[in-house]
Chain A
Amino acid sequence: MLSLVLLGVALLLLLGALAPFVGGEAAARRIVYGASLAISAVLAVLAIARLLEGGPPASAVLPIGLPWLDAHFRLDELSAYFLVVVNLVAAIVSIFAFGYASHDVEPARVTPPYPVFLAGCNLVLIADDAFMFLLSWEFMSLSSWLLVMANHRQPETRRAAFVYLVMAAFGTLMLLFAFGVLAGPAGDYDFDSMREAKVKPLLASAAFVLVLLGTGSKAGLVPLHVWLPLAHPAAPSHVSALMSGVMTKVALYGMIRVLFDLLGEPAWWWGGLVLLLGAVSAVIGVLYALLQRDLKVMLAYSTVENVGIIVLGIGLALAFKASRLPDLAALALVAALLHVMNHALFKSLLFCGAGAVLVATGQRDLEKLGGLIRRMPLTALFFLVGCLALSGLPPLNGFVSEWLTFQAIFSSTAFSNELLRLGVPVAGALLALSAALAAACFIKAFGIAFLGRPRGAAAAAALEPEGAMTAALALFSFACLVLGAFPGFAILIADPVARTLLGDGLPVNVGGFLWLTPFPDGATSYSGLIVLVLVLSVPLSIVWLVQRLGVRQQRRSHLWDCGFPDPSPATQYTASSFSQPIRRVFGTVLFRARESVDMPPPGDMRPARFAVTLVDPAWDWLFQPIGRIVGYVTQRINILQFMTIRRYLSLMFTALVILLLVVVVNQ
């Protein structure tokens, strides 16, 4: 299995290297996406088989890399689970890409880095030494940077790519330091030595903070999320789907790997801090998503929210582990892992759906869409499935993982630590708030884009996308539905991960696949299948009854005209008006939302304009101060550029003497 993953990675890299030399864009597209699809599908199936089969971790050492450090690879349950997530999504997105890529602005800039990006994602998951991990991490970062840069002629794309590159470099630097701390004085960079090493508590805490910064910045954790809403909309849609669905998950893999596997016994406040960050991310992410009118920016902020939910689960698991409650830790970790899988599926579905809308209308602005349900009924149906799943509504998959997370939160009475016992329910309240806001957010997204009347000529003339794109949307929707109705499938492969990392798992299948019972006493349980049957049967029977018993006559009227028949679609409810109450409640303080109406003077024929300005607090409170400090310091030390040779030499000489003095004093 491990050798096959390595072979797949090698093939993907080869594919990336050869892609620029294939004659013709269409041929390159077919070869690259076809081969990516095949490799990802095979790897996903193999990884599922590995998880079901169980067994000891496989490891391999290849004589590549630094001269004194061979490349170590290892495949255990955690790697295999994330391999499933990565490759499953990558396979379906590759199908979508068949149709979408022909609409790319510059497809030749996308085909070469695409397989390299997939190879990087896969390689991070099986790396077993710090060097290989960081190398593949950079492969992933840089190839995705190239993908973000695909449409490089637009200035906002260049800005997004720049911010992304800076944040990626920052994250890698933090991870480099973290592994430096973990490697200890002996400098053993393979993960096995790190597992063995007993790091002092203070150093372990330092490594914990560094890992949180490093993986958090890549996953899009508040306040390190600022690159995400810039980069995701700038990239081509199938790439945004992968970056949002897959790459943030690989970052979370890094977090879980270090926190649960390499770092030894956690301190209780680690879990608390991670939990807090997750809860804050969830709420800020979804609030900001709710206020957006650009479809892809909205989806990107929603990723911040979902990463927050997953990180909340991870923090809960960490806190339970530190409190020596392995069964509850397993519950929280399984919930987080399930949400990893679920978010990867429905967020990729939504990004692909946004891509389909973009192809059909050339619009990402919700205020210019509308009425698409009649022009693109299939896309609308699948997009609706994604919205429902993301909103955490049963019987779709998003509900299961959020429900399990809540079950873990409700068990917080088991904590002996007062702070955790009081704090976790607060985090739960924040999670509930974010879930409700997410539902509002996606009602808006679906309602404004697909319902009502078209707000522009492009929306009125939209056409259903090609078969490949619709097929990918259908596959994603099917996966969401299956995992929602039969969550046992996902738990079957997530449970071994918890068992190997925490030594305890879920008492699943108490009552078979029909019921999901997270506690051995059966205190709570949920059945996706029964809810699905109810959800399908009750409304259908109501419709049937109404049609049967109600008045036969049908009356057609204007859509969304608020009882005021006006031929202009501009009078419809808009995205801005939908989110206005929430903007007024939360936005004025948190996001400094300001509404301004530009009213022309009497006699002027131009229309009045309404504008909303929002400020992301992370920019104001974190990044701009940092930028100012860096600017100030560079101004101060700029003088170093214009020194005489003698002064340069004096500087070096002084540095040398000081270092020698340090050695003298230390020995």
Chain B
Amino acid sequence: MPAAANHFYYDVAHLLGALVLLCSFVLIYQRRLTGIINAFTMQSLALALAAAWQAFVQDAPHLFVTAGIALLFKTVTVPVALHWIVRRLAIHETVENALGIGLSLLSGVGLVALAVLLVLPVTGSTAALTRETLAMALSILLLGLLIMIARRNAIAQVVGFMSLENGLVLAAVGVKGMPLVVEMSVAFSLLVAFILFGLFFFRIRERFDTLDLQFVESFRGERR
């Protein structure tokens, strides 16, 4: 592989990975449920592209399957279903933030810095492509967790969980020789989790007339 081409591969992979990361930041400052779902769709699309690019670069056709799964489930099925749930339950109001937008973005930047500081020295000997991807994947993972704790709405928490999982998939496709089984199982477990979450949404809504977890918590007699 000529050096110039190598550089080009690296840049594109980096760009796509950064796009996924950027979508995490987009996710953080959304105030409306539709916006959150759309940002998640964008992130999943970027992830599918990144996976497809890795499949091309690494010459690993099974990664195309991963890209396909990401495209089919995460950019089509899950967002459509979430939009349907939002329409069906008629919840268009803004989501209450537990952490302010500015503070969330600042902590997000801090988490990315932490991930970079952590991954780059540890993986000193591996290829540059893998290192950067891993750093970005860890950032996305941490940001997903941040979204889960920064939102009080159940749907937003589920989206946070799925974006966390996007980080995992990004790490998986960036590493050479990761077997397809791993990605498949992650994808399917996600699907099962999604179905379960959907069921719970309806149950919670039926009982409490809201998906805002504040009400559920006070109902359970929890302290906040």
B79-121, CB < 8 A from A: 98, 111, 114-115, 117-118, 121
Residues of A within 8 A of B146 (CB): 653
Residues of B within 8 A of A647 (CB): 224
Residues of B within 8 A of A646 (CB): 98, 148-149, 152, 157, 213
Q: In terms of DSSP, what is the predominant structure of the interface of chain B?
A: helix
Closest CB-CB distance, A509 to chain B, in whole Å? 66
In the bound assembly, the distance between CA atoms of A642 and B223 in angstroms comes to 6
Answer yes or no: B122 CB below 8 A from chain A CBs: yes
Taking each of A646, A663, A667, which has the highest tally of chain B beta carbons within 10 Å of its own beta carbon? A646
Residues of A within 8 A of B2 (CB): none
Closest CB-CB distance, B103 to chain A, in whole Å? 13
Q: In terms of DSSP, what is the predominant structure of the interface of chain A?
A: helix
Closest CB-CB distance, B147 to chain A, in whole Å? 10
Answer yes or no: B221 CB below 8 A from chain A CBs: yes
Q: How many residues does chain B have at the interface if contact means C-beta atoms less than 8 Å apart?
A: 21
In the bound assembly, the distance between CA atoms of A113 and B145 in angstroms comes to 50
B223 & A639 in contact (Cβ 8 Å cutoff): yes
Closest CB-CB distance, B106 to chain A, in whole Å? 14
A661 & B223 in contact (Cβ 8 Å cutoff): no
A650 & B149 in contact (Cβ 8 Å cutoff): yes
Closest CB-CB distance, A308 to chain B, in whole Å? 51
Residues of A within 8 A of B223 (CB): 639, 642-643
B145 & A656 in contact (Cβ 8 Å cutoff): yes
Answer yes or no: A644 CB below 8 A from chain B CBs: yes
In the bound assembly, the distance between CA atoms of A647 and B148 in angstroms comes to 10
With A653-B146, A657-B111 as given contacts, are A644 and B213 in contact (CB-CB < 8 Å)? yes
Residues of A within 8 A of B157 (CB): 645-646
In the bound assembly, the distance between CA atoms of A113 and B38 in angstroms comes to 64
With A660-B114, A667-B122 as given contacts, are A642 and B222 in contact (CB-CB < 8 Å)? yes
Answer yes or no: B71 CB below 8 A from chain A CBs: no
A667 & B121 in contact (Cβ 8 Å cutoff): yes
Closest CB-CB distance, B143 to chain A, in whole Å? 11
Residues of A within 8 A of B213 (CB): 644-646
Q: How many residues does chain A have at the interface if contact means C-beta atoms less than 8 Å apart?
A: 18
In the bound assembly, the distance between CA atoms of A653 and B149 in angstroms comes to 9
Answer yes or no: A618 CB below 8 A from chain B CBs: no
Closest CB-CB distance, A657 to chain B, in whole Å? 7
Answer yes or no: A52 CB below 8 A from chain B CBs: no
B222 & A643 in contact (Cβ 8 Å cutoff): yes
A661 & B149 in contact (Cβ 8 Å cutoff): no
Residues of A within 8 A of B122 (CB): 663, 667
Closest CB-CB distance, A638 to chain B, in whole Å? 11
B98 & A657 in contact (Cβ 8 Å cutoff): no
B193-224, CB < 8 A from A: 213, 217, 221-224
Residues of B within 8 A of A664 (CB): 114, 117-118
B217 & A657 in contact (Cβ 8 Å cutoff): no
Answer yes or no: B27 CB below 8 A from chain A CBs: no
Neighbour of A661 across the interface among B98, B114, B152, B224, CB < 8 A: B114
Binding site for A on B (CB under 8 A): 98, 111, 114-115, 117-118, 121-122, 142, 145-146, 148-149, 152, 157, 213, 217, 221-224
Known: A663-B118, A664-B117. 15 other contacts (CB 8 A): A639-B223, A643-B223, A644-B213, A644-B224, A646-B149, A646-B213, A649-B148, A649-B149, A650-B149, A653-B148, A653-B149, A656-B142, A657-B114, A661-B114, A667-B121
18 contacts between A and B (CB under 8 A): A642-B223, A643-B222, A644-B213, A645-B157, A646-B152, A646-B157, A647-B224, A649-B145, A649-B148, A649-B149, A650-B149, A652-B145, A653-B145, A653-B149, A657-B114, A663-B118, A667-B121, A667-B122
